[in-house]
Structures are given as structure tokens and as C-alpha cells.
């Protein structure tokens, strides 16, 4: 009984800490209609990060999507919600975008809800693992999908796996593989699998 109580207490405490540091994702499960295939086609460039700047590079990519010139390295210098290791909490991305005048939401969903959001025409920043069997976490914009793949604008050079003469994406991930990468829950962040940040096309 003591172990159960301790486990419940740990979950409550970690949830409160994470809610402050990361903001709590809003669960969405309602199925909406969306096209079978969709790719965001917008003149944008994909920059490659050097260390742990994926939050800033993802944010810069979204800002450029809206026609605002942004550089990942420059953004990262004063990026909010950064920890000593150099990693950034999701809250940091939302803070930067809000300061630029955009409305963001942080959702916990599934493959269908993610496809629906991408089909609105704005890159969606997902929170995934770098490798499915390790705990290093990564932010990356999803810019398209079809029945088999998600298409990403990847800022980690070692993960780039395609060059289809397309400046929208440089990585495609089979959907079953993506599910494993998207399952990031562990004892410290039990609620953060299948989460993503959406940005409203209309500035707030």
C-alpha cells in the first residue's frame, strides 16, 4: 500500500511540476475529416542544428512559414524555458510564438488528430524521441502525410533521409515507426506522449 501511495504522490508531484515547466497538453480525440494525402507547399528553407537547438530551429521554421525571417541559432541564444543541459521545454516554443503575435495550442492526440492539424496548412511541431529505443527528446515540424508516411522538416543532419527536390521536407517516417518515436512517456513525464504544438494562421 505504501508503494502505491508513493507512486500516486510521485505522479501528482511530477504532473504539477511539468504543468508549470511545460504547460499541460489538452487531450483531443475527436475524429475530423481530412484529405488522405497532404503536403504543405510553402517557400521555406530547412536549417541544420549543431547541438540541442531543435526547439529554436522548429520555431524559426514556423516563423518563416508565415513570412517572418528567423534564424534558429539566433533565436536559441535567449530562448525561454531552457535548462542547463541546453534542452528546452515545450512552454519555451509557445512563449516565443506568442511574443511574435501568434496563438498556439499544446495538444495530446493521435495519428488522426495530427493529420487533421497538418491538413490546415500550417506546420505542426511534434515532441518525439530522436531514436525509438532511447530517451533523448526532439522537436520537429510535421509538414505532410499520406497513408504510409509523415513528412518532416528535420534539423538533425543524421536523421535526414530524403531529398525529393522538395524544399518542404527532408525526412519521411513510416507511420508505425512514428508512433514509437511519439511515445515519449517515462516516469518523469507520464502525460507527454503524442503531444504537439499547433500555431494559428491568424495572429492573436
The rounded distance, in Å, linking the Cα atoms of 122 and 149 is 18
Q: Find out whether 156 and 178 touch, Cβ atoms under 8 Å.
A: no
Residue of 132, 133, 134, 152 whose CA lies nearest to 142 = 152
The rounded distance, in Å, linking the Cα atoms of 119 and 39 is 8
> What's the grid cell of residue 66?
508565415
pLDDT for the residue 204: 47
pLDDT for the residue 166: 63
Average pLDDT of span 8-16: 64
Task: Give 89-141 pLDDT, tens digit per residue.
Answer: 899 999 999 999 999 999 999 999 999 999 999 999 999 999 888 888 899 99
Beta bridge partners of 71: none
Task: Give 13-41 pLDDT, tens digit per residue.
Answer: 666 665 556 678 888 988 889 999 999 99
Task: Give 72-84 pLDDT, tens digit per residue.
Answer: 999 999 999 888 8
Residue of 50, 98, 77, 73 whose CA lies nearest to 198 = 98
Beta bridge partners of 141: 125
Predicted TM-score of the model (pTM): 0.89
Average pLDDT of span 175-198: 85
Beta strands 26-27 and 102-108: pairing type?
parallel
45 CB-contact burial (10 Å; exposed 0-12 / middle 13-18 / buried 19+): exposed
Task: Give 143-180 pLDDT, tens digit per residue.
Answer: 999 999 999 999 999 999 987 666 789 999 999 999 99
Amino acid at each position: 500500500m505504501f508503494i502505491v501511495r508513493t507512486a500516486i504522490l510521485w505522479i501528482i508531484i511530477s504532473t504539477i511540476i511539468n504543468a508549470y515547466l511545460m504547460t499541460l497538453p489538452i487531450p483531443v480525440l475527436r475524429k475530423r475529416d481530412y484529405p488522405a494525402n497532404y503536403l504543405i507547399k510553402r517557400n521555406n528553407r530547412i536549417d541544420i542544428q549543431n547541438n540541442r537547438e531543435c526547439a529554436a530551429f522548429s520555431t524559426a521554421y514556423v516563423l518563416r512559414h508565415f513570412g517572418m525571417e528567423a534564424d534558429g541559432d539566433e533565436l536559441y541564444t535567449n530562448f525561454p524555458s531552457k535548462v542547463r543541459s541546453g534542452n528546452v521545454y515545450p512552454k519555451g516554443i509557445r512563449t516565443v510564438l506568442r511574443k511574435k503575435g501568434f496563438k498556439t495550442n499544446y495538444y495530446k492526440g493521435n495519428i488522426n488528430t495530427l493529420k487533421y492539424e497538418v491538413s490546415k496548412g500550417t506546420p505542426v511541431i511534434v515532441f518525439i524521441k530522436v531514436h525509438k529505443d532511447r530517451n533523448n527528446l526532439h522537436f520537429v515540424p510535421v509538414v505532410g502525410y499520406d497513408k504510409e508516411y509523415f513528412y518532416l522538416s528535420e534539423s538533425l543532419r543524421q536523421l535526414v533521409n530524403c531529398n525529393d527536390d522538395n524544399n518542404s521536407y527532408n525526412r519521411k517516417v513510416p507511420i508505425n515507426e512514428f508512433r514509437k518515436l511519439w511515445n515519449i512517456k517515462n516516469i518523469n513525464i507520464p502525460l507527454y506522449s503524442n503531444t504537439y504544438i499547433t500555431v494559428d494562421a491568424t495572429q492573436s
